[in-house]
Amino acid sequence: MRLSASVDVVRLLISRGFAFRGHDESKSSLSRGNFLEILSWYAKNCDKIHDYVLKHAPVNDQLTSPMIQKDIVSACKIDTVKAILEELNGDYFALLVDESFDVSRKEQMTIVFRYIDRMGFVMERLIDIVYVEDTSASSLNEAIFNLLAQHSLSPSSVCGQCYDGASNMQGEINGLKMLIKRESKSAHSIHCFAHQL
């Protein structure tokens, strides 16, 4: 019951794109972060879990620590990617890739798959956010091919690419689009016009 309550709150926060942690999560804080506040509200309003969570749980088994929250998020990510890959069913897909840095100034790359599902609808799904050493084309290429290998996807299944206009992405000789195209001749590249809005 305790784990189910924590998973329910994590799934809600993920689905809404909300932050989990607060700046002050002490018991005396008036705003302990979204995870603890929503779990507290859930316990007050759901008799089924009230007696199992937070102050009613053993101190060493409350399932509310930041590490537990991260573990639950990781499990949700694994299930989500598995469902996306099942929907993709080994078919062709396009890569939508962008790089930036997070709040801690670490370089990261987002990888989105764009494909047609079994019903004929165009789907765009975030597959991963990968930390990279740098944003050179070779570093990004290596991270993409590692991700494809990790999910048993063939580079030849890439039928399209979409990037911003940066030279590391669009370069005609050693840009990421050319490195991908060497592995998948059908991976045509287009500029992402969302970057021009």
Quick check: is 83 in a domain? no
Q: Which of 77, 107, 132 corresponds to the end of one domain?
A: 77
Q: What CATH number is given to the structural domain containing 168? A: 3.30.420
Look at the pTM and tell me if it is higher than 0.75. Answer: yes
Q: Which domain holds residue 144?
A: 89-196
Q: Are 143 and 170 in contact (CB under 8 A)?
A: no
Q: What is the pLDDT of residue 197?
A: 47
Query: What ranges make up the beta strands (E) of the chain?
Result: 93-101, 107-116, 122-131, 158-163, 188-191
* 123 and 155 share one domain: yes
**pLDDT at site 165:** 76
What number of CA atoms fall less than 13 Å from residue 138's CA on the CB side?
2
Position 65 scores a pLDDT of 84
The helix/strand/coil state of 136 is coil
Q: Measured between alpha carbons, how far apart are the two ends of the chain, in Å?
A: 47
Name the least confident of 15-29, 139-153, 177-191: 15-29
In the predicted model, is pLDDT for residue 132 greater than 80?
yes
How does pLDDT run across 53-112, given as a tens digit for each residue?
777 766 677 788 889 899 999 999 999 999 999 999 989 999 999 888 877 788 899 999
Task: Give every CB contact of residue 81 below 8 A, 6+ residues apart in sequence.
Answer: 127, 128, 151
Closest CA to 69 of 134, 117, 108, 18: 18
pLDDT in tens, 142-158: 999 999 999 999 999 99
Q: 98 and 60, same structural domain? A: no
Q: Does 44 share its domain with 139?
A: no
Count of structural domains within the chain:
2
Q: For the stretch 120-140, what's the b/e string if a residue is b when 16 or more beta carbons lie within 10 angstroms of its beta carbon?
A: eeeeebebbebebeebebebb
**DSSP-derived secondary structure for 162-191:** EE-S-HHHH-TTTSHHHHHHHH-TT-EEEE
Domain boundary among 39, 55, 77: 77
182: in domain: yes
Answer with the residue of higher pLDDT: 24 or 70: 70
Compare 145 and 164 and report the one with higher pLDDT: 145
Give the pLDDT of residue 120.
Answer: 94
One-letter identity of residue 175: G
Q: pLDDT at position 195, please?
A: 53
37 and 100 housed in the same domain: no
Tell me if residue 106 falls in helix, strand or coil. coil
- In this prediction, residue 72 carries a pLDDT of 94
pLDDT (average), residues 117-126: 94
Q: Which residue has the tokens 């078919």?
A: 91
CA 174/CA 149 separation, integer angstroms: 22
Average pLDDT, the chain: 87
